[in-house]
Every structure is written in C-alpha cells, then in structure tokens.
Amino acid sequence: MNSTIIVGAGIIGLLTAIELQKAGQKVTLIDRGFSGQESSWAGGGIISPLYPWRYPDEITRLAGLSQLIYPELLEHMQQATGIDPEFLQSGMLILGDHSAENPEAWARRHAINMQPVDATQIRELAPEASDRFETGLWFPDIYQVRNPRLVSLARTYLKSTDITLVEQTRVSDILIKEDRVTAIITDSEPYTADQYLISGGAWTSELLKSTGFDPGIEPVKGQMLLLKGAAGKVRHITLSEDRYLIPRKDGRILVGSTTEKSGFNKQPTTDVRHSLLRYAVDTVPALASHEIELHWAGLRPGSANGLPCIGRHPSLENLFINSGHYRNGLVMAPASAQLMSEMMLQKSTCLAEIDYAPRDVFHLKK
C-alpha cells in the first residue's frame, strides 16, 4: 500500500483524500486549522459556475462531471453519517440581457438545459423579483449545497474511514532531496510518505515557495451576508450584475459576493455590507424588512481564467498540486478529486481528453 500526505483540508483536500483512500492508499490529511473552515466554509455552494458560458470548456467539463458525481456521493456520505448537506435543486435564474454573449449557442454545444425567459416568465418563476427585469436565462437543473454542512459531512465521513486527520497543525516547510520530497515539516513533527499533495487553497503558492515553483494562486476575497428569512421568500438562486441571492432550505438568504484583491485580509467591511444589502433589496424589494444575521469574508484560491492547477510538480516527481479553483471550487471539487487521484495512481484520467503529460503541472489545457 502506498502512502500519501495531503496538505490542506478544504473541500479539495477532503474529497481527494476520500478518493485516494477508496483506491487503497494510506492517507494523512493535515490542516493548520479545523478542516473545511476557510473558503470551503465561506462560499455560496452554487453547483454551477456563475455565467457559465464565460468559462473555458475545461471548467464546463469539470463542472459537468461533478454535477454527475455529487448526487450519489452525497447520498452515500449522508447515509453513512446522518448529516444532510441540503443538496437542493433550486434552479438558477440569471436576470438581465446577455444575448450579445450568445449563451444559447454555448448551452446547445454542451447540452445544458437552459431557457431564455421574458418578463412574463420571470414574473412566474420569481414573482418576488423587482419588475425592472425584462429578460433572463433559466437553468432549472442547477443545485446548491450548504457549505458548512457539506464540509462537516465530509469531515465526519472521513473520520469513519482509516484516513488520518491531523488538525491544528501548520505546515511550515517541504523538505527536498534531489528530485523528491522527503518530508513535510510542521509545527509539531515531520511527516513522511511516498507521495505528497498540496491543496492549500489561497495559501498554495506560499506553501510551495521552497520548491521553486509558483502556480500563481492568489487570494481573492469574497464577502457574504446571511439574511434571516422565511422559506419561499426567494424561490431560486437569482443572479444579476455579478451578485446573487441563494435561498437556503430554512428560509435564510445568502447575498454575495465581491471579488477583492487585498492579500490575506479576511475582514468584512461596512461599505460592502451596505452595497450587498442594497443589491438584495433592489433585486427583491421585500428583503428590505429582513435582518442581517451574519456578515463574513472568505479567500478564494484565485487563478488565471479560474483554471485550476491539477497535476504533478514540474521538478519534484512525488509532489502533486490540486488547487486554484477560484470561484468554482465547490462545483469542481468531486471531478478534480477524481482526476487528481487518477493521476497520482497513474490511471487513465476521468477526463481523458484533457492533456496530461506526466511530470508537467498542467493548467487544464486552454
């Protein structure tokens, strides 16, 4: 049996650990905090890219494969743990005129169920929405998941396996001899294995500093509001002007988000609080009476074009990277975990048409 150490227990590290364990690997997962408490906790949990036609085809493929994997994976983990991740088919309504970008051609090419809607259809789908919206796009098959529940589900499931979870242990260095990693240095003790994987989210480039390779992953802050609400007030995931409303099962409503480059600063700000609330009320006027329950920020692992880095380190043969999923880490997580695990186990990949040259870190082919 081969052994793997994974650094970073966000959704990417958690699901990759589970994939590798299923394939018979002895896995140790290390996080400096508690698992799943960074970006994977902070996000919105929409199981689709926003404005999905704007992304490279590789992201469409990873998202599409994950959309196929999620129902069975979550059902299996829920059965084993009793934790409900609130995986709901909410549908996604994108308001505004996007005809210049021709999303219909994109949807036809990828066989995505998407319907253009006019003012009357918008009133039927979302009677709560402001009547200033005359046109939009309706994606009936889009799901959401509730982030804190998803990461708690994955963590609890993982603890029922023989994966070793080491929390509150910061990785400070990677020891290298010739073209191999020999140990991961932590605040407490060194850890050794046959293979190593870095899935450190926004901190991935920092973690890799001593290896001489920078995958160009940088933190992109996103702020969120949680409004108290009654179930049914907002019916669907509703998106416009790069902001969105997500109705949770219990009636609470998430309002997101921003994309701010301010280093590793996670402090929420008053101006964004006001602007998110203004957006919510402009979109659904009835939200004016809803109280803000929580306001937070998370750090996305930002990458060029949102393309993740999934592959082998360019010069260290037993070191791998699965990170840089930017705004789509939740939706791409199951497929990325499967792809990474297949590469590490040198199987043919689940996305066979994606270029994969062993020893090359690859940003999914552009």
Contacts with ligand FAD by CB under 6 A lie at 7-13, 30-33, 37-40, 42-46, 170-171, 199-203, 207, 222, 224, 256-257, 298, 300-301, 323, 325-331
CB of 150 to ligand FAD, least distance (A): 10
Q: Closest CB to ligand FAD among 16 and 25?
A: 16
Tokens of 49: 């890219």
In angstroms, the CA 115 to CA 120 distance is 14
Alpha-carbon distance of 64 to 27, in angstroms, equals 27
Whole-Å CA distances, 66 to 4, 72, 94, 137, 333: 23, 11, 21, 22, 7
Nearer to ligand FAD, 108 or 184 (CB): 184
Shortest reach from residue 322's CB to ligand FAD, in Å: 8
Distance CA 362, CA 364 (A): 6
H/E element, 302: strand 292-302
Distance, in Å, from the CA atom of 337 to the CA atom of 345, rounded to the nearest integer, reads 12
Closest CB to ligand FAD among residues 44, 136: 44
Residue 35: CB minimum distance to ligand FAD, A: 6
- The radius of gyration of the chain's CA atoms, rounded to the nearest angstrom, is 21
Which C-beta is closer to ligand FAD: that of 136 or that of 201? 201
Looking at beta carbons only, is 135 or 169 nearer to ligand FAD? 169
User: What's the closest the beta carbon of residue 50 comes to ligand FAD, in angstroms?
Assistant: 7
Q: How far is the CB of 316 from ligand FAD (least distance, A)?
A: 17
Query: Nearest distance from residue 203's CB to ligand FAD, in Å?
Result: 4
Closer of 104 and 206 to ligand FAD (Cβ): 206
CB 153 within 8 A of CB 77: yes
Tokens describing residue 250: 């219990």
